[in-house]
Amino acid sequence: MSSAIEPSIKSRPVYGTLKPATAPAHLIIADADGGKAVLDLATAAPTSFLPNAEICYIPGKADHSVTLEALGAARFYTGPSIAAMLPRLKRTFERMHMGTQIYLAGSESLIGLAMKTAMEANIDFEAIQTEHRGSLARRVQCVHCKGITEGVTTQPVTCAHCGLLLLVRDHYSRRYAAFQGVNINAEDPSDIPPKEEVFT
Amino acid sequence: MSARGRLHGAIDVVVTEVVELNSLIKRFHFARPDGKPLPAFSGGAHIIIQMQDGDTLRGSPYSLSSSPLDTRDYQVSIRRDDQGRGGSLYLHREVKPGMKMSITHPSNMFALDKRASRHLMLAGGIGITPFMSQTAQLAQMPGVHAELHYGMRSRELGVYLEELASRLGSRFHVYADEDNEQIDYDRLLSSQPAGTHLYVCGPSPMIDLVLRKSAEHGWPDNHVHYEHFAKASSGEPFNVELRASGKTIEVGAEQSMLEAIEAAGVDAPYLCRGGACGQCETRVLSVDGELLHEDHWLEDDEKASGEKIMPCVSRCRGTVVLDR
C-alpha cells in the first residue's frame, strides 16, 4: 500500500515506488513501515542485488528489523532514531562512489532528512528513489523563531520553541527537510481554532 | 535567417585574429567593431556563426573556447571537416582578419552544475573546446575539484595542451591513439566520489560509449552531461509544405530544412541549430516519403511516430507537410 498524499502546491514532495536499479551498489534507508517497501524491493530485485546492498533501518511503531536483517544484505544497520543515524549516514555518503543507488522509504521525516544529508554531499535529489509508507507526521519549521517541531500530527500546531500557534503549510523546504509553519492567529491571539489530527 | 538574411538578435562583429593551431584546427577571434565587451557567457556556451557562402546562407553552432571572464572577444576553435556541408571549410578558407560577420548571443546547453564540488570531464578531439571555457571558469572557483581526460589521435592534433596543464596540473590527462593510450572509462566511472558530475564532449561513438558505460556503472542521468551538435547534413533535395504559412518550398541538397524555411521568409524558432536543444521541434502533419531524423532531441518512439521533426538537422525523402 502506498501513501495517500494528495496533490498540492509544487513544493510539496511527492514520492514513488522503489524499483531495483541497474547499479553496482545499493544504499537503502528506511524507518518503521518503510521496512515493508524494502521487503517489496528485495522481492523484486535480481539475486545480485542484496550482496551489493546496505540497509539502514530505524524501527518506529512498526518494527521489521528481524525480517530485514534476515534478507542477508551485505551490511545491515539498525539504530534507535533518525537523528542517531544521520552522522553515520553523512560518513557513508562521503565515502560512497558514484553509481551507488540510494533508496529512501518510510516517514516523510526519514525521507526528508536522509535526502537533506545526501544533498549536502552534492548528490542530486532527483537521483534518489523514494517511497512513502506509514505515518504522515510532519517536521515543521516555525517561520518566526526557526525552531523545528518534530512529529507534528495536528492542524494547527503549537510551536515547541516559541509557543505560537502555527498553520502547517504544504510549503516544504528541501534544505531544512521541513514544512513551514506560519502563525495562524497573529491578528487576534485570542482566536484559537481547534486542533485537528490530520497528519496521521 | 529572415528574408533580410540575418539571424534574429545577431551581433555584428569583426574578425580580429585567425590563428592556425595545427594542420586541422584554426582559432577565430571575434570582437565588436567599437571594441566594447561582448555579452557575458558561462563555461560550455556556444554561438552560431552566420556565413554567407556564395548564394547559401548558413548558421552553424560552435562552442566558445575563450574565458567567460574576458569578453573583449569571443574565440572559437574550429576543426576543418572535409566531409562536412562546408561551414568549417568556409571558415578555414574564406574568413580572414578584418572581415565583418554576424554571430548570435551565446547560449549554453552544456553548463557546469555549480552545486557540485567535483567535475569529471572527458573530451575527444575537437570536443575539447567547451572545456576550455569551463576550465577557465572553474579556475575562479576555489575548492572545486575538476579533472580533465582528453583523448586525441596524436599529440600534434591536440590543442591547448600547455594551457590546460597549467590550469589543471596533475588533474589533466592526455591520451593519444597513436601512442596506444586510451581513457580507461571503467576505472574512471567506478572510482568517482559520490556527488561528482560527469561531462563528455567528442565524436558520437565516444559520447554513446560514455553514456552507456555511465549507465552501467549506475550514474544517474542528472549527473551526466554531454554535448553533441549533429551536423545539418546534405542530401537529396526534397519538398516541404509549410501549411500554416501557406508556402511550399524546396530544400536544396546543401541546405538544411531550417535554412530553407528561413530563406522563404518564415520566422521559425531555433536555438542550437545542432539537433540538441529542442527549440525548433515542429509538428509533421503528413509525409509522402520518409522522415530522416538526425537529431539528439526526439526520443526513439517520437521519431518512429512520424509526428515531429527537428528541421535544423533532419531531412526527408519525398514531401513533408509541416505545421509551420
State the nearest Cα–Cα gap between A105 and chain B, in angstroms: 19
Q: What is the pLDDT along chain A (200 residues), one digit of tens a residue?
A: 445 687 789 999 999 999 999 999 999 999 999 999 999 999 999 999 999 999 999 999 999 999 999 999 999 999 999 999 999 999 999 999 999 999 999 999 999 999 999 999 998 888 899 999 998 999 999 999 999 999 999 999 999 999 999 999 999 999 999 999 999 999 999 999 999 999 98
The stretch B94-98 carries a mean pLDDT of 95
Are B123 and B221 within one domain? Answer: yes
Residue among A58, A176, A76 at smallest CA distance from A117: A176
Are A107 and A154 within one domain? Answer: no
Are A96 and A155 within one domain? Answer: no
Q: Of A132, A153, A168, which closes a domain?
A: A132
CA distance B267 to B290: 25
Least confident range of A151-165, B55-69, B87-101 = B55-69
Nearest CA in chain B to A128: B220
List CB contacts (< 8 A) between B212 and chain A.
Answer: none
Contact B258, B312 (CB under 8 A): yes
List CB contacts (< 8 A) between B193 and chain A.
Answer: 94, 96-98
Q: What is the pTM of this model?
A: 0.85
Contact B264, B281 (CB under 8 A): no
Are B96 and B123 within one domain? Answer: no
Rg (CA), chain B: 20
Are A127 and A142 within one domain? Answer: no
Q: Which residue has the higher pLDDT, B52 or B96?
A: B96
pLDDT bracket for residue B8 (50, 70, 90): low
Q: What is the number of structural domains in chain B? A: 3
Distance of CA B161 to the CA centre of its chain: 21
Are B139 and B182 within one domain? Answer: yes
Three cell numbers, residue B82: 572535409
- Report the SS3 class of residue B278: coil
The secondary structure of residue B3, as a DSSP letter, is T
List CB contacts (< 8 A) between B217 and chain A.
Answer: 23-24, 98-99
Q: Which of residues 119-158 of A touch B (CB under 8 A)?
A: 121-124, 126-127
Residue A18 in any domain: the answer is no
Supply the pLDDT for residue B9: 72
Contact B289, B317 (CB under 8 A): yes
CATH number at residue A51: 3.40.50.80
Interface ipTM > 0.95: no
CB contact under 8 A, A100 and B116: no
Are B126 and B94 within one domain? Answer: no
Three cell numbers, residue B127: 570536443
Are A55 and A146 within one domain? Answer: no
Residue among B193, B195, B228 at smallest CA distance from B210: B228
CB contact under 8 A, B116 and A93: no
- Report the SS3 class of residue B106: coil
Residue B159: pLDDT above 80? yes
User: Domain range for residue A31?
Assistant: 25-132
Supply the pLDDT for residue B55: 73
Supply the pLDDT for residue B3: 37
Interface-testing mutation among B112, B114, B196, B214, with chain A (most A C-beta atoms within 10 A): B196
Are B214 and B245 within one domain? Answer: no
Residue A20 in any domain: the answer is no
The secondary structure of residue B107, as a DSSP letter, is B
Are A119 and A157 within one domain? Answer: no
Residue B113 in any domain: the answer is no
What is the residue-wise DSSP string for chain A? ----PPP-STTS---------S-SEEEEEEETTHHHHHHHHHHHS-TTSGGGEEEEEE--SS--HHHHHHT--SEEEE-S-HHHHHHHHHHHHHHPBTTEEEEEEE-HHHHHHHHHHHHHTT--GGGSEEEE-S---EEEEETTT--EEEEE-EESEE-TTT--EEEEEEEEETTTTEEEEEES-SS-TT--PPPEE---
User: Domain range for residue B136?
Assistant: 118-227
